[in-house]
Structures are given as C-alpha cells and as structure tokens.
Amino acid sequence: MRYLADAFIAARLLTIGLVALALAIGAPDTASASSRIKDIVEFEGVRENQLVGYGLVVGLNKTGDTLKDGGFTKQSLKSMLNRMGVKPTEDGLESKNVAAVMITASLPAFARQGNRIDVTVSALGDAGDLEGGTLLVTPLMGADGEVYAVAQGQVGVAGFTASAEASSVTRGVPTTGRIANGAIVEREIGFDLANMDTVKLSLRSPDFTTARRVAQAINKFLDEPAAKPSDPSTVHVSVPAKYDRNVVNLLTDIEQLRIKPDQIARVVIDERSGIIVMGQDVRVSTVAIAQGNLTIRITETPEVSQPNAFSETGETVVVPRSNISVDDDDQNRMAVLKTGVTLQDLVNSLNALGLGPRDMISILQAIKAAGALQADIEVM
C-alpha cells in the first residue's frame, strides 16, 4: 500500500508539473510585448554632435592624388610646408604619396577634454588607396565653426585593390579608412544636467498614445503627477523633490520603466528589392482579389539541314524552328478577404494565389486605391 501511495503522489506531482509547463508555454510573454522607455525616447541634452575637418594623408605607396595638374591637394601641401619653414619648388611637388581627405567624427554627449573618439577618413581627390597612410594633425570643427577635437594617426583600411596589365580586382572601398581613437577632444559642450528642474523626453516615433503611456508609467513610479505629454513627441517631467540636484538618478530610474508602444497601421514597400513589411495592426475590409498574367513565350531553335554525303546536288542551309507557348495563368483563382482580416490572413490569402513579392506590391497598392486597406502605404 505504501508503494501505491508513493506512486500516486509522484503521478500527481508529474501531472501538476506538466500543467505548469503547458501554462508557461501557452501564456503570452508580456515582457516581450513591452519596451523600456530608454529604447523609445531621447533625453534632452543627451545627444551627439557631428564634427568635420580637412587634412592630408601622407606615406602612401604611390596611390595618392595627382599633383602635376595643381589643384587643392598641391596647394594644401605647399601651404603646410610653408608653415613649417620649408620652401618647396614646383619640381619637388610631384609626389604620389599624398592625398587630400575629409575627416568626419561624432562627438559623444558629455565628452570631456582629453577623451578620445574614432574618426573616419575619406579621400577627396583621385587617390586610389589610403592603405598605409598617416593622417597629419587636423582640427575637427562643429556646425558653429569652433574646433572641438584634433585628429591624427595611422589610417586603417579594410578594402584593397590590385591590378595587372589585363585585369584588376577591388574589394571593399580602399579610399575610405578609419582611425580608432584617432582624435582628442579639446573643447567641451557645456550642459548642466544635474541642476535641471524639468526634463524633456523626445519620442523617436511620435505617437499620442505612446506619449500618454510614457507619462502614466512615470507618474505611477513617482507616485505623483510629475510627467505630462505636451505633444505626440514630447513628455515633460518635473524633477521631484527627492531627486533635487540628482537628475541622473531620476533618468536612470525612468529609462528602466517598461511600456507597450503604440503605432499606426503601416505597410512599408521597397520596390527596388521587392521587400514588404506590414505591421500587426493592418486590417482589410471585404474585398475580392484576382491576379493573372498573360505570358507569351517564343523560343527559336534553328537547325542545320545539309545534303547526304557525296551528293552532287543540294546545299547546306539553316532551317528555322519556332515554338510558341501561351500561359494565361488559368490555374489562379479569385480570393475573397472578409472584413477585418488580420495580417496573417492577408498574407495567407496572397500566398494562396501563388504571388511573388512584386505582384503583392501591386495588389496592396490596388487594395489601398480601392479604400479597403486600413493602413498607410509607405514606398521607399
């Protein structure tokens, strides 16, 4: 009896475990349907700034700009040498080891003096390859014309090119390179985040419902009406007393809150590649769809006709052979989509017609023109 009781208990435990596992598998993952506020908003002042500069890359293996015709590269090289006390002659400026380049970089938010940032170096003239070159000291300026960083260093190029008399091969882009930690920040962009009284959150995808949900989540966490949406893309948050002079902690707590972003029904189409992306809220009213193409194929297979061996009469001629076939897609049928079908129903119905991406694009545009597609179509 004891063994029977133990077996009964083990069976019950196994049954409970299987039921719990089934519930766990079947239950919707609410966390996966939500997003952190950190991932859908930008905080005021926490942003990058673009920098740009003009400089020279030296040390190339005869793959630099052509200097014999003059131009900006020759003028830049002559000006640089003059500043260093060197007076070059015209015959001494025929080198193929120098290239004029543009340098671009992004200055991170709150970058301090002495911090290093990556830079991208791109050929400006007719240089063929920047491999092995060294960028000379180049100031990087912001949109206001002020110098914020200075770049210099060895250029790393991922691409390469090789050529011979009859052929050549190029992989990647050898005229663009990168210098890791190639620029030093010299000027800071002032922004007093810690002493702010109000913080603005900017939604990356503006939406009334999402802005309201962000404000509600923040107010629930702070237990006071501190957040208020002012428009579909902006939420104003008044800094509570417990976070006074400590806005960093406030933003750290806010960005970890989770909400479910809302979005409008949209169909995005890339006609060049045939890619179609549809949101889950796309709906279709009752509509009938039929698709058929008339295809006529003409195949020419010419044959050679010649007389028998040792024949004294006749001649060798080319006899045309033509084969014409007509395909009117008579196997395709008309599909009826009922009111309010989901994205999965729409895709299944279009696939049932044997359509490819190109045909789907035309049909979606036709459904939209008929007023039956309850979504926006965005053509890239």
| In the chain, % of residues over pLDDT 90 | 35
Instruction: Kindly report, residue by residue over 133-167, the tens digit of the pLDDT.
Output: 999 999 999 999 999 999 999 999 887 666 666 66
Domain co-membership, 254 together with 291: no
Range of the domain at 237: 198-259
| 336 part of a folded domain | yes
pLDDT for residue 215: 94
Q: How far apart are CA 43 and CA 64, in angstroms?
A: 44
Question: Are 274 and 255 members of one domain?
Answer: no
52 confidence band (pLDDT: 50, 70, 90): very high
Same domain, 148 and 118: yes
Q: What is the pLDDT of residue 341?
A: 62
In a domain, 84, yes or no: yes
Is residue 89 domain-resident? yes
Residue 36, pLDDT score: 93
Which of 123, 154, 185 terminates a domain? The answer is: 185
d(CA 295, CA 258): 54
Position 187 pLDDT exceeds 60 = yes
Please give the Cα distance from 327 to 313 (Å, whole number).
44
pLDDT of 194: 80
Number of separate domains in the chain: 3
Residue 3 within any structural domain of the chain: no
How large a percentage of the chain has pLDDT more than 70?
71
pLDDT value of residue 332: 53
Domain membership of residue 162 (yes or no) is: yes
Which of 131, 150, 185 lies at the terminal end of a domain, its last residue?
185
Would residue 33 count as lying in a domain? no
Q: Looking at residues 10-31, what average pLDDT do you find?
A: 41
pLDDT of residue 164: 64
What integer pLDDT is reported at residue 21 of this predicted model? 36
- Tell whether 162 and 82 lie within a shared domain: yes
Residues β-bridged to residue 249: none
Q: Both 274 and 370 in a single domain?
A: yes
Whether residues 58 and 129 fall in one domain: yes
How many Cα atoms occupy the beta-carbon half-sphere of 297 within 13 Å? Answer: 8
Regarding whether 357 and 254 lie in a shared domain, the answer is no
Q: Is residue 25 part of a domain?
A: no
Amino acid 285: pLDDT:
74
Interval 277-303 mean pLDDT: 66
pTM for the predicted model, two decimal places: 0.65
Q: Are residues 172 and 72 in the same domain?
A: yes
The reply to whether 333 falls in a domain is yes
Q: What is the mean pLDDT of residues 336-348?
A: 63
The bridge status of strand 335-337 relative to strand 287-289 is antiparallel
247 by Cβ neighbours in 10 Å (0-12 / 13-18 / 19+) ranks as: buried
Poorest-confidence range of 1-5, 55-59, 131-135, 264-268? 1-5
- Asked if residue 341 and residue 255 are part of one domain, the reply reads no
Whether the per-residue pLDDT at 296 is higher than 60: the answer is: no
> How many residues are given for the chain?
380
Does one domain contain both 181 and 97? yes
pLDDT, tens digit, 9 for 90 and up, residues 61-88 = 888 888 876 678 888 888 888 888 888 7
CA distance 49 to 200: 19
The predicted pLDDT at position 335 comes to 55
Which residue type is seen at 245? R
Of 185, 219, 236, the residue that ends a domain is 185
- Of 155, 136, 116, give the one whose Cα is nearest residue 53: 136
Q: Which of 40-49, 265-274, 287-296, 359-368 has the highest mean pLDDT?
A: 40-49
Reported as a pLDDT band with limits 50, 70 and 90, residue 271 is confident
Mean pLDDT computed over 8-36: 47
Max intra-chain CA distance, the chain: 114
pLDDT at 2 over 60: no
The four Cα atoms 86, 91, 96, 100 give a dihedral, to 10 degrees, of 50
Residue 366 and residue 255 share a domain:
no
Higher pLDDT, 62 or 323: 62
Q: Are residues 175 and 58 both part of a single domain?
A: yes
Can you give the chain as a three-state secondary structure string? CHHHHHHHHHHHHHHHHHHHHHHHHHCCCCCCCCEEHHHHEEECCCCCEEEEEEEEEECCCCCCCCCCCCCHHHHHHHHHHHHCCCCCCHHHCCCCCEEEEEEEEEECCCCCCCCEEEEEEEECCCCCCCCCCEEEEEEEECCCCCEEEEEEEECECCCEEEECCCCEEEECCCCEEEEEEEEEECCCCCCCCCCCCEEEEEECCCCHHHHHHHHHHHHHHHCCCCEEEEECCEEEEECCHHHCCCHHHHHHHHHCCEECCCCCCEEEEECCCCEEEECCCCEECCEEECCCCCEEEEEECCEEECCCCCCCCCCCEEECCEEEEEECCCCCCCEEECCCECHHHHHHHHHHCCCCHHHHHHHHHHHHHCCCEECEEEEC
pLDDT mean over 353-357: 68
What pLDDT score does 22 carry? Answer: 38
Contacts for 35 with CB less than 8 Å, ≥ 6 apart: 258, 259, 260, 261
